[in-house]
């Protein structure tokens, strides 16, 4: 009896099926996308069964802050999203599905448009689908403005264009002023 023959019986209980070839590729891509930071990042997170709570700095707006080693800060939940789910598509914001701003659980985070994010907010008058003049608040007809306190206002572009046109006609300046 060869020792390999015996070994195969033992190995049968231990050896797991090999992961599919593309699974390995995904794993590798994740590793290269992650610099040495993750331990330092996840060490500041208290992973409960539900929300993952950020234990380090929290800003006035209730969102966690993470200090990057190269200088500068990033919103902790945005970092968590990037580390686990990948880059945030341009123009999208990260919405907390759980409504807990201090949470960095990537599975509670979703990349959505800013308008979508507002419509999901319980305090936002999302039931108003049209402006005072009856223009529909679509993605393309809506401007969002965030003030210093983080409050967001919604403007109708169609109305804005009309107002801008009126203002422009009112103060027509002499041509020589346009230097
Ligand atoms: Zn959460
Ligand atoms: Zn309007």
Residue 32 and residue 69 share a domain: yes
How far apart are alpha carbons 13 and 60 in whole angstroms?
55
Q: What is the DSSP letter of 74?
A: E
Ligand located closest to 95 CA: 1
Residue 116 and residue 39 share a domain: yes
Across the chain, mean pLDDT equals 77
Distance from residue 150's CA to the centre of ligand 1 (Å): 20
How far apart are alpha carbons 89 and 63 in whole angstroms?
20
Q: Is residue 97 part of a domain?
A: yes
Distance from residue 132's CA to the centre of ligand 2 (Å): 6
Residue 83 and residue 153 share a domain: no
Residue 99 and residue 75 share a domain: yes
Distance from residue 97's CA to the centre of ligand 1 (Å): 7
How far apart are alpha carbons 129 and 139 in whole angstroms?
11
Ligand located closest to 52 CA: 1
Distance from residue 113's CA to the centre of ligand 2 (Å): 20
Q: Which of 99, 90, 118, 96 is nearest to 109 (CA)?
A: 96
Residue 36 and residue 61 share a domain: yes
Low-confidence stretches of the chain (pLDDT beneath 70) = 1-36, 121-127, 150-151, 172-179
9-55 tens-digit pLDDT:
333 444 444 444 454 444 444 444 445 688 999 999 999 999 999 99
Distance from residue 158's CA to the centre of ligand 2 (Å): 5
Residue 110 and residue 148 share a domain: no
Locate all alpha helices (DSSP H) within the chain, ordered by sequence: 3-14, 21-33, 38-42, 76-85, 114-120, 157-170
Total domains in the fold of the chain: 2
Residues belonging to the chain: 179
Distance from residue 161's CA to the centre of ligand 2 (Å): 9
Ligand located closest to 132 CA: 2
Distance from residue 120's CA to the centre of ligand 1 (Å): 15
* Amino acid 23: pLDDT: 46
Residue 105 and residue 31 share a domain: yes
Q: Is residue 165 part of a domain?
A: yes
Residue 163 and residue 138 share a domain: yes
Q: Is residue 4 part of a domain?
A: no
Distance from residue 100's CA to the centre of ligand 1 (Å): 5
> Computed from CA positions of residues 129, 131, 135, 139, in that sequence, does the dihedral angle turn out positive or negative?
negative
Residue 109 and residue 140 share a domain: no
Q: Which of 88, 120, 124, 92 is nearest to 106 (CA)?
A: 88
How far apart are alpha carbons 107 and 85 in whole angstroms?
9
Task: Phi first, then psi: give them for residue 22, nearest 5 degrees.
Answer: -70, -25
Query: Helices (H), strands (E): how many in the chain?
Result: 6, 8
Which contiguous run of DSSP H or E holds residue 65? strand 65-67
* Amino acid 131: pLDDT: 82
How far apart are alpha carbons 138 and 120 in whole angstroms?
15
* Amino acid 49: pLDDT: 93
The answer to whether 154 touches 144, Cβ cutoff 8 Å, is: yes
Residue 76, domain CATH: 3.90.75
Owning domain of residue 166? 128-172
């Amino acid at each position: 009896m060869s020792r390999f023959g015996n070994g195969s019986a033992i190995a049968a209980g231990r050896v797991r099926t090999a992961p599919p070839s593309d699974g390995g590729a995904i794993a590798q891509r994740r590793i290269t996308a992650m610099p040495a930071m993750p331990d330092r990042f996840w060490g500041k997170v208290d992973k409960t069964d539900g929300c993952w709570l950020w234990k380090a700095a929290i800003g006035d707006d209730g969102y966690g802050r993470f200090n990057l080693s190269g200088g500068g800060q990033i919103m902790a939940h945005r970092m968590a999203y990037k580390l686990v789910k990948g880059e945030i598509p341009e123009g999208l914001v990260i919405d907390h599905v759980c409504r807990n701003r201090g949470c960095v659980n990537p599975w509670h985070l979703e990349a959505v448009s800013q308008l979508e994010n507002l419509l999901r907010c319980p305090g936002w008058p999302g039931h108003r689908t049209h402006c005072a003049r009856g223009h529909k608040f679509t993605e393309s007809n809506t401007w969002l403005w965030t003030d210093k306190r983080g409050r967001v206002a919604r403007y109708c572009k169609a109305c804005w264009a009309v107002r801008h046109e009126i203002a422009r006609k009112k103060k027509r300046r002499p041509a020589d002023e346009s230097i």
